[in-house]
Amino acid sequence: MEVNTRHPKDVASIFKEYGSQFIDEHKLCADQLKAFRAITQCRTAVMGGHLEGCDQCAHQRIAYNSCRNRHCNKCQYIKQLIWVDKLKSSLPVCRYFHMVFTIPSSLHKLFYLNQKVCYDMLFKAASQTLRKVGQNPKFLGAETGAVAVLHTWGQALTYHPHIHMIIPAGGLSADGVEWVRAPRKFFLPVKALSKVFRGVMWSLLEKYITTGKIRLPDDDQGLLMLKKQLYEKNWNVFCKKSMAGPQSVVQYLGKYTHRVAISNSRIVEVGGGKVTFRWKDYRKSLNNGLLTLNAEEFIGRFMRHVLPSGFYKIRYYGLLAAANGNKRGQCFLLINKPLHVSLLQNLSAIQVLEMVTGKDPSICPKCKQGKMVVIKVLTGSPPAPS
């Protein structure tokens, strides 16, 4: 009988082998513990599943259920495909820019202590910056929008909160009768964006700190010193050159939306209490470097990127927000190009896979003639005592 098994070099296996000791020695919050258990139990007997049999031959296989936790790197593929397909049908057909809003490292400790409030504040600061600069008549002079995605990690799994934004290369004029196109090589001046972003962020920070919504780190030296540190350095807003219409830009964005801190494909070796994985060092232009961490450090870094429960890491602003459907419809009319038609909505996971791969996953892998049908539903079994 065939049983679907995981690759030995994956996050779940690392958690299984070294996680018990890590949990004994470190205090995890409820959200982190939930994610840890879900990833460890994903596609195992604990989750339950079903027994399938071929209707033409004697072949049988067991398929265990997925955990569906958003931090599990094995449960995001179908979600990503459906999300990408749906988003294509709601975007204006034009060029797009990819912009990244990053906070300085001096704010990392404060952000980690106040994750839910600070991540929400980061979204607000980025979106307000885009709106202020975009509507300025010296620059675009129009209302634009964005799809924004929060990431909290760098390539080495270090703590690095930042917002990815995909922005239409243009916007709707104030009177709503013209689609204002952005220059082909750049969207908005990066220096202006960076200064406005820093100002908006500080304004929100000061408000939240003085009203007690944000707790300062124990070693913090007060508001004046914090402001001095934040204004001593130039803030960076990164903007890539424009990309073609929704077909390509959403595929590009799809790589960011449902990504977790590290994919299993990047893990090279596990053993002897160490984990080795591939990473890119953008500062040194190193694309295929290898980094080795103690298993304890690896798990600790992964756990830092578990988001607070109920927090939305994908958000829509301006013309791309759900509340602005009428304005977006006006953009469609002004641009006057055919829209993408959603093909994957309301399809099951098996149907999505069949449409994307061109292969029927229910075909028997042994005889290649029959179809696998569910013989028995398997209830979840309790995990073995550690």
pLDDT per residue over 7-46, tens digit each? 568 999 999 999 999 999 999 999 999 999 999 999 999 9
Q: What own/partner pairs with CB < 8 Å and gap ≥ 24 does 81-84 have?
A: 81/254, 81/344, 81/352, 81/356, 82/344, 82/345, 82/347, 82/352, 83/254, 83/257, 83/258, 83/314, 84/250, 84/251, 84/253, 84/254, 84/257
- Could you report the per-residue pLDDT of 335-365, keeping only the tens digit for each? 998 877 777 777 877 888 888 788 888 899 9
Kind plus residue range of the DSSP H or E element containing 385? none
The partner residues of 50 in beta bridges, in order of sequence, read: 63, 377
The mean of the pLDDT values for the chain is 87
Per residue in 311-326, pLDDT tens? 999 999 999 999 999 9
Compute the average pLDDT of residues 273-280: 92
Q: Which two tokens stand for residue 309?
A: 């429960």
The burial class, CB within 10 Å (0-12 / 13-18 / 19+), for 205 is: buried
Instruction: Using the predicted structure, report yes or no on whether residue 61 has a pLDDT greater than 60.
Output: yes
pLDDT of residue 386: 44
Strand pairing category for 49-54 and 274-281: unpaired
CA distance 319 to 329: 9
Tokens representing residue 27 in the block = 């205090």
Tell me the helices (H) and strands (E) count for the chain, helix number first.
11, 14
pLDDT at 281: 76
C-alpha to C-alpha distance for 207 and 355, rounded to whole angstroms: 50
In this structure, what DSSP letter does residue 384 have? P
